[in-house]
Amino acid sequence: MKPLPEKLSAQDVMDDVPVIPVIVLHDPAHAVPLARALVAGGIRMLEVTLRTPAALACIERIAKEVPEAVAGAGTIRSAADAQAAALAGARFGVSPGYTRTVSKACHDVGLPLLPGVATGSEIMMAQEDGFNRLKFFPALQAGGAPMLKAWQGPFGDVTFCPTGGIHAANAHEFLSLSNVACVGGSWIVPNESVQTGDWTRITQLASEAAALPR
């Protein structure tokens, strides 16, 4: 893996590998072995979603104990989320939608943000605020690869990370598009493997995902 700058940009996050794992953790004890398993498979950009009470503790453990991983916080929906994520050690943020409040909060705490969009109007609003690297969410429900193809014309200067409904069988359809840098997906971190501590399986899935062409 190439060295990363101390201060990341959204481009650094999206261009690192083809897949950013979308991680939901309920037990902080799983955080470190999971992060190590993903890094062993070649994936270091880790989006830990703020969907559980354990999420911030998990980010903190990864940030402190797995320095070769880059812990990020997903599901940032408020300024308070951004502040808490930064305090826990997150180095990037991902939001399911776009608001200027969240954008400003992430900027203020130094978190590069991948804001979520699902419509042309949301893309235009994000671009007005300087964002050209965006998360397309929920990807399948919002039009999938055909929608991204349609956006290549009017939004040719925007690069996307589609997330939502993407798995090993359809990831290539998105990654083959010229306006897609990477995809987000939870298939790399199946819950049953996390619960049983099958870190070898997660390393295998990460290795396969890291090798996907784009």
Q: Which domain holds residue 74?
A: 10-210
Distance between CA 151 and CA 10 in Å, rounded? 20
Other beta carbons within 10 angstroms of residue 193's beta carbon come to 18
Nearest to 123 by CA among 101, 102, 98, 104: 98
Nearest to 35 by CA among 59, 62, 8: 62
Establish if 194 belongs to a structural domain: yes
Establish if 5 belongs to a structural domain: no
CATH number of the structural domain spanning residue 191: 3.20.20.70
| 111 band by pLDDT with thresholds 50, 70 and 90 | very high
Establish if 164 belongs to a structural domain: yes
pTM: 0.97
| 20 band by pLDDT with thresholds 50, 70 and 90 | very high
- Region 126-155: what's the mean pLDDT? 98
- Region 85-114: what's the mean pLDDT? 98
Establish if 4 belongs to a structural domain: no
152-154-158-161 Cα dihedral, nearest 10 degrees: -50
Distance between CA 124 and CA 91 in Å, rounded? 25
Spatial neighbors of 44 by CB under 8 A, at least 6 apart, are: 1, 16, 17, 38, 68, 69, 70
Establish if 3 belongs to a structural domain: no
Distance between CA 149 and CA 40 in Å, rounded? 34
Q: Based on the structure, what is the number of domains in the chain?
A: 1
Give the model's pLDDT for residue 2: 87
| 42 band by pLDDT with thresholds 50, 70 and 90 | very high
- Asked if pLDDT for residue 210 goes beyond 90, the answer is yes
- Region 61-75: what's the mean pLDDT? 98
Give the model's pLDDT for residue 199: 98
Establish if 1 belongs to a structural domain: no
Establish if 137 belongs to a structural domain: yes
Distance between CA 50 and CA 15 in Å, rounded? 23
Enter the tokens of residue 44.
Answer: 């270091």
Nearest to 9 by CA among 96, 83, 114, 97: 114
Q: Which residue bears the tokens 């830990």?
A: 48
Residues taking part in catalysis: 47, 135
Other beta carbons within 10 angstroms of residue 148's beta carbon come to 22
* Coil vs helix vs strand at 161: strand
- Region 180-202: what's the mean pLDDT? 98
- Region 14-41: what's the mean pLDDT? 98
Distance between CA 214 and CA 183 in Å, rounded? 10
Nearest to 32 by CA among 16, 50, 48, 17: 48
Whole-number average pLDDT of the chain: 98
